[in-house]
A = this chain, B = another copy of it.
């Protein structure tokens, strides 16, 4: 999915919502255990209930890996079920030397090799250019590079200041040497709405994936106030607050209600910038 396709979907669906599939087998309703793959069935119902309200899905790889082979099978099945008009993001936060990153690219971008071909992957920047470049050779696929994260430990290193500014600013600046906004997004945590003003100075055109709205405490209005650009340029992720909106048998219905609530707020934000 390329930049234009994604922007078109945002206009069409009046949404820049990404639904995070952080599916924990210990948190899903009992009745799903009657299905062969309860985690996939949970995801399937969530996807079917929300696909007209969001433009992206983001399975969190850790939640699948934690179940070994079975989890990997659930992840592949989930990928297969993702609607083609949504950006599919694997939240994997990989990052290694070039030949290893090529293998990670096979794992997540090459269906023939691994059974999966996501549109985008989250990458950790610590090891620099060779962590990223192997993923950039795939047409219409994206790298989503960690810049400023919303977790407590995000402050440990991301705000270290060198001559080039904060570490997260250096990451954004350096990454512009590797790819333009047609293949490169950044992760910026939503608990720091006002930080988006500065992020947009460094990355005016890139899409920004914003986790942390909902369960992690972020606020959509704050994010949009400083983070939205003329083509939207935001994908706002919500995981727990949508997928666990209800722990009962009505989980999919409640997930839809929650997604709809966010999507309605997004309509207002998209109208403000005249995109819809």
User: Cβ of A276: which chain B residues have Cβ within 8 Å of it?
Assistant: none
User: Cβ of A94: which chain B residues have Cβ within 8 Å of it?
Assistant: 62, 93
Q: Does A273 contact B (CB under 8 A)?
A: no
Q: Given the known A-B contacts A65-B103, A72-B69, are A167 and B161 also in contact in the complex, defined by CB atoms under 8 Å?
A: no
State how many residues of chain A have any CB contact under 8 Å with chain B: 62
> Oligomeric state, in number of copies?
2
Q: Does A115 contact B (CB under 8 A)?
A: yes
Q: Given the known A-B contacts A66-B114, A93-B96, A116-B68, are A170 and B153 also in contact in the complex, defined by CB atoms under 8 Å?
A: no
User: Cβ of A131: which chain B residues have Cβ within 8 Å of it?
Assistant: 153
Q: Does A136 contact B (CB under 8 A)?
A: no
Q: Is the CB of A128 within 8 A of B154?
A: yes
User: Cβ of A161: which chain B residues have Cβ within 8 Å of it?
Assistant: 162-163
Q: Is the CB of B69 within 8 A of A115?
A: yes
Q: Given the known A-B contacts A62-B100, A65-B103, A72-B69, are A174 and B156 also in contact in the complex, defined by CB atoms under 8 Å?
A: yes
Q: Is the CB of B66 within 8 A of A106?
A: yes
Q: Which residues of A, 118-157, contact B by the 8 Å Cβ criterion?
A: 124-132, 146, 149-157
User: Which one, B65, B95, B110, B157, contacts A170 given CB within 8 A?
Assistant: B157
User: Which one, B93, B154, B167, contacts A160 given CB within 8 A?
Assistant: B167
Q: Does A268 contact B (CB under 8 A)?
A: no
Q: Does A238 contact B (CB under 8 A)?
A: no
Q: Which residues of A, 72-115, contact B by the 8 Å Cβ criterion?
A: 72-73, 76, 93-101, 103-104, 106-108, 110, 113-115
Q: Is the CB of A114 within 8 A of B157?
A: no
A106–B61 alpha-carbon span in the complex (Å): 12
Q: Mark A147-191, 1 if CB is under 8 A from B, else 0.
A: 001111111111011111001001100100000000000000000
Q: Does A67 contact B (CB under 8 A)?
A: yes
User: Cβ of A103: which chain B residues have Cβ within 8 Å of it?
Assistant: 24, 60, 62-63, 65-66
User: Cβ of A62: which chain B residues have Cβ within 8 Å of it?
Assistant: 94, 96, 100-101, 103-104, 107
Q: Does A71 contact B (CB under 8 A)?
A: yes
User: Cβ of A125: which chain B residues have Cβ within 8 Å of it?
Assistant: 126, 156-157
Q: Is the CB of B156 within 8 A of A128?
A: yes
Q: Can you list 18 A-B contacts with CB-CB less than 8 angstroms, sorted by A residue number? A: A22-B99, A62-B103, A63-B100, A66-B107, A68-B114, A69-B69, A69-B73, A69-B115, A71-B107, A97-B150, A98-B152, A125-B157, A130-B151, A130-B153, A131-B153, A160-B160, A160-B167, A161-B163
